[in-house]
Structure 1
Amino acid sequence: MMKHIYIFAMTMMLIASSGTVKAQDVALKTNLLGWATTSLNAGVEIGTAEKQTVQLFATINPWKFSGDKKVRFWNVEPEYRWWTCQRFGGSFFGLHALAGEYNIKNVDLPFGTLPKTKRGRHYEGWYIGAGVTYGYQWLLSRHWNLEASLGVGYAYSPYKLYGRCARCLDKNHRNYVGPTKAALSMIYIF
């Protein structure tokens, strides 16, 4: 898991320091909903044209919780956005991809993401998918924005179900269709 944290940190620093940019071309952001679920997250969004931006967002949750619960995962999500008026303000539509790995124990996920399981068993797997996004950004000040966005799409996820003593009980996959992202983000625009 430390390897994933290192890769996440290095990717964010590389993106933030790449190329030359002008004012209102780059934004750093964090999803407040992610923090509410104890997930560390950060993203960078770069203006590519008058009404277009691209962003890379990454999330990691390396924690274990009381009651022998865990929702450990990492996720990366690149996205292309088209703004209806001007970038970094108002409505936008996007196309996003997503990929990551997970290790989930004694937690039932919403929307039927994974089948429910007996206590003491856990899922390990990975996923890849894509979807569409709608969102809106409110200008709070010269450099600060607030964004709300929601995405729906498809994800393919092969997984293994483990029982006690790390014994593999089942290998299967899920074809998931439903919400693929939800964000309420604070944004700092350079």
Structure 2
Amino acid sequence: MKNNKLRLALVLATAFFTNSISAQNFTIKTNALYWSTATPNLAMETKMGGKWTAELSVGWNPFTFSNNKKLKHIAIQPEARYWLCSPFAGHFFGVHAIYSHYNAGNVKMPLGLFSKLKDSRFQGDLGAIGIGYGYSWMLPGNHWSIEAEVGVGVGVTKYDKYECATCGSKVGSETKTILMPTKAAISLIYNIK
């Protein structure tokens, strides 16, 4: 059932962006900060009219590292953006949603985020909504740009918790609502005009 929902979301998003490609601007991008977690990722953004754009990003991490360290997940994040000057340049504000299915454990996160990941393994689903602020810099040549964005929001996660990251028994299931970072991006962008 979960796979069917994921497939439906991807089909609808693809149809949405395919119909929007006829707009004058369309970008393809990748988030370098996301790559630092060994997560391949790709995003598409298109102009919707006036000062509005829509972005869809996808990240997938299928890897298990030494000592059974893992941040395995698939994440899909649509976002609507309002640009203060003109689309794809300068300041913008965004509203986004996230869906992620994850299996993570034996990881020490920076800034003390999700501190229980170091000693336990968690497997479940996360849904979140958030707001973001960003800025995009055009590079010489009009096809490349760099963008930075940060976001914060509220997430609801339902997960199973296991004793240790390696081999532990299931110790319970839980649902939590959390205030959380929803976006941290430094992206390299190719602008298709």
Assess same fold via TM > 0.5. yes
Cα RMSD after superposing both structures: 2.7
Encode CA deviations 1:40-98: one digit per residue, 9 max, x unaligned. 10010010012110010011111011122111011100000000000000000010000
Q: 1:73 to 1:123 in 2, by over 3 A?
A: same
- Determine helix, strand or coil for the equivalent of 1:19: helix
**21 and 125 in structure 1: CA distance in 2 versus 1, 3 angstrom threshold:** closer
**Which residue number in structure 2 is paired with residue 125 of structure 1?**
124
Map of 1:136 onto structure 2: 135
Q: What is the percentage of aligned positions where both structures have the same residue? A: 35
Which secondary structure state, in structure 2, belongs to the residue aligned with residue 146 of structure 1?
A: strand
Aligned to 1:167: 169
Distance 2:150 2:122 in 1: 26
What letter corresponds to residue 103 of structure 2 in structure 1? N
How many angstroms apart in 1 are the aligned matches of 2:109 and 2:155? 15
How far apart in 2 are the matches of 1:129 and 1:176?
A: 9
Q: Give the whole-Å Cα distance in 1 for the aligned partners of 2:181 and 2:92.
A: 17
- Residue 109 of structure 1 deviates from its aligned partner by 3.4
SS of equivalent to 1:135: strand
Change (3 A) 1:112 1:158: farther
Which deviates more, 166-175 or 81-90?
Answer: 166-175
Contact 2:100 2:125 in 1 (8 A): yes
Question: How many residues are treated as equivalent by the alignment?
Answer: 184
Q: Which runs of 5+ in 1 are unaligned?
A: none
* 3-state secondary structure, aligned to 2:56: strand
TM-score with structure 2 setting the length: 0.84
Instruction: Supply the distance in 2 between the matched residues of 1:69 and 1:132 (Cα, whole angstroms).
Output: 30
Q: Alpha-carbon deviation of 1:170? A: 1.4
TM-score normalised according to structure 1 size: 0.85
Q: Is the 8 A contact 2:23 2:47 kept in 1?
A: no
Q: Unpaired runs of 5+ in structure 2?
A: none
| Equivalent residue runs for 1:85-104 within 5 Å | 85-104=85-104
Distance of aligned partners of 1:18 and 1:117 in 2 relative to their CA distance in 1, 3 Å threshold: closer
- Do the aligned partners of residues 45 and 20 (structure 1) sit closer, same or farther apart at CA in structure 2, a change above 3 Å counting? closer
Partner-residue secondary structure (3-state), 1:47? strand
